[in-house]
A and B are shown apart, each in its own frame.
Chain A
Amino acid sequence: MKRDNIQLNDQGRLRHFLTIEGLSRALLTEILDTAESLTSVTEQSVKKVPLLRGRIVVNLFFEASTRTRTTFELAAKRLSADVLNIHIAGSATSKGETLLDMLANLEAMHCDMFVVRHDRSGAAHFIARHVAPHVSVINAGDGSHAHPTQAMLDMFTIRRLKGDFYPLTVAIVGDIMHSRVARSQIHALTTLGVNEVRVIGPRTLIPRDIESLGVHPYYDMKSGLQDVDVVIMLRLQNERMSGAMLPSESEYYSRYGLTEEKLSLAKPDAIVMHPGPINRGVEIASSVADGPRSVILQQVTHGIAVRMAVMSMALGNPPLRQEGTP
């Protein structure tokens, strides 16, 4: 099993972080625990630890992102790594250089880690299969496949605010079909052993075989939000869907938009999460997004510690070198 999983090295430790799927509960818990320890760096007057001093982290973004790229950059800098930000639209790939040539060039510059965001599913896996043995790849979102660091910062937020996972009922609301965030969240929540995962949305936006992932589909908010501990709203991704999937934004809002009224169906202490960027008045009311139960901005802060944890774990588990001094 270890052999098959490209994410783990021969000792079963994290080498690349591409998807939650196939990772153990112990490893996900290790990520959360390491992130917890790294939060104390924020309390230092010098907000840096020297773990990745002298390492080079490349943010390779083939698709626009502000929050994810910024928090990856900040995480790398807090670990004392040097960071290169490469926007592909403005790079040599537009001059006809292939992706693999470009990676080879970056490796020749002694880069240690690629943080990859791409609009094609499987892009980060493809890169991980082709990098040099000392290079780690972190998936910062690939097509509609996975966004594992987002899912882990959500798990971190849930654990901090709710404690144990096993008694919780978590509802993920919106466009499940196109959401890499939802897919990664579902794998993380089921691996960490929550009581129930629900997905709520219009039939056109919920994959028909979703139950095979161990979740319960609901097609209306009234039954879906009943007694829920955590509500995760997803962004309506207009850029990823063709017109027929959705009647109109206003109808979507009236049926699936999270208003105070709909939120009152959940448990009184339920928290509201959103991976951002939020579309106010499309999937969430401003009064909820800015309200006391919203933890959306805490998610952003937690993203830094979780990304620090993943980066230091992946780069701290180098391939076994020849047995030398202990």
Chain B
Amino acid sequence: MDKSANSSMDVEPLTKALVDKIQQRLAAKGIADPAMVGIHTGGAWIAEKLHQALALKTPLGKLDISFYRDDFTRAGINPQVKPSTLPMNIDDKHILLVDDVLYTGRTIRAAMNELFDYGRPASITLVVLIDRNGRELPIQPDIVGAHMDLAPHEHIKLQGPAPLRLIRSNTE
């Protein structure tokens, strides 16, 4: 898969665009103190950048959704699973949930299930760097860095943590 990688893209302009869009949305909704949660691994990298740029007061949370995946009985447990860390009480918080690539929607379904095992947030806003086609669940992003229309054999993946680069590859 790696050897057929055929293009690489800088994420800096996309994260800049995300920061602007998040600020506009927070202002429009009158949300003063949101909490940001990034999904391991790529979402957490993006969330670190956004959290810093937005100077959010609530510390950044990170979710590893391995224990909430819907393919456990097929794929088993991932030995590289990281503990989730949510250093805040999420009850009644406005959550900015961040992931790198939104594809089938299954990761977001698992992440929301896990979040609700920690408490009852006031709202969840879904922020993604890339929104690609191929949804299998009725889950849509609120804030998007870029949309991409890819063929089923094409893949987009965030590589990091430094530098962060989007790698587009073709497995056909």
What is A's interface to B at a CB cutoff of 8 Å?
13, 30, 33-34, 36-41, 43-46, 48-51, 312-313, 316-318
Contacts and interface: CB of A to CB of B under 8 A. Distances in A.
A144 B67 CA distance: 35
A313 B77 contact: yes
A-B complex: 10 closest residue pairs judged by Cβ atoms: A316-B76, A49-B67, A46-B117, A40-B83, A316-B77, A37-B81, A44-B117, A37-B83, A30-B79, A317-B76
Given A36-B83, A37-B64, A50-B67, A45 B119 contact: yes
Given A37-B66, A38-B67, A40-B85, A51 B117 contact: no
B157 interface: no
28 contacts: A30-B79, A33-B79, A33-B81, A34-B77, A34-B79, A37-B66, A37-B67, A39-B83, A40-B85, A41-B67, A43-B86, A45-B117, A46-B117, A46-B118, A48-B117, A49-B67, A49-B68, A49-B114, A49-B117, A51-B67, A51-B72, A51-B77, A316-B73, A316-B75, A316-B76, A316-B77, A318-B73, A318-B76
Between A30, A44, A317, A318, the greatest number of chain B beta carbons within 10 A of the residue's beta carbon is seen for: A44
Contact of A34 (B73, B81, B113, B117): B81
A36 B155 CA distance: 32
Contacts of B114: 49
Contacts of B8: none
A191 to B, nearest CB: 17
Of A13, A46, A50, A313, most buried by chain B (CB within 10 Å of CB) is: A50
B84 interface: yes
A243 B122 CA distance: 67
A51 B85 CA distance: 19
Given A37-B64, A49-B117, 6 more contacts: A33-B79, A37-B81, A45-B119, A51-B72, A312-B67, A312-B77
Interface string B60-98: 000010111000110111010111111000000000000
Nearest to A79: B67
A321 to B, nearest CB: 8
Given A13-B76, A37-B83, A316-B76, A44 B67 contact: no
Nearest to A29: B79
A50 B76 contact: no
Contact of A44 (B64, B77, B118): B118
Interface residues of B, number: 22
Interface hub of B66, B77, B114 (most chain A Cβ within 10 A):
B77
A312 B72 CA distance: 9
A37 B64 CA distance: 9
Contacts of A44: 117-118
A318 B118 CA distance: 30
Interface in B22-77: 64, 66-68, 72-73, 75-77
Contacts of A30: 79
A46 B86 CA distance: 14
Contacts of B116: 46
A13 B75 CA distance: 12
Contacts of B83: 36-37, 39-40
A49 B67 CA distance: 6
Contacts of B82: 37
A50 B117 CA distance: 10
Contact of B118 (A34, A45, A51): A45
A70 to B, nearest CB: 22
B97 to A, nearest CB: 17
A152 to B, nearest CB: 15
Contacts of A45: 117-119
A54 to B, nearest CB: 9
B148 to A, nearest CB: 21
A43 B66 CA distance: 16
A49 B85 CA distance: 15
Contacts of A37: 64, 66-67, 81-83
A48 B116 CA distance: 11
A322 to B, nearest CB: 12
Contacts of A50: 67-68, 113
Nearest to B63: A40
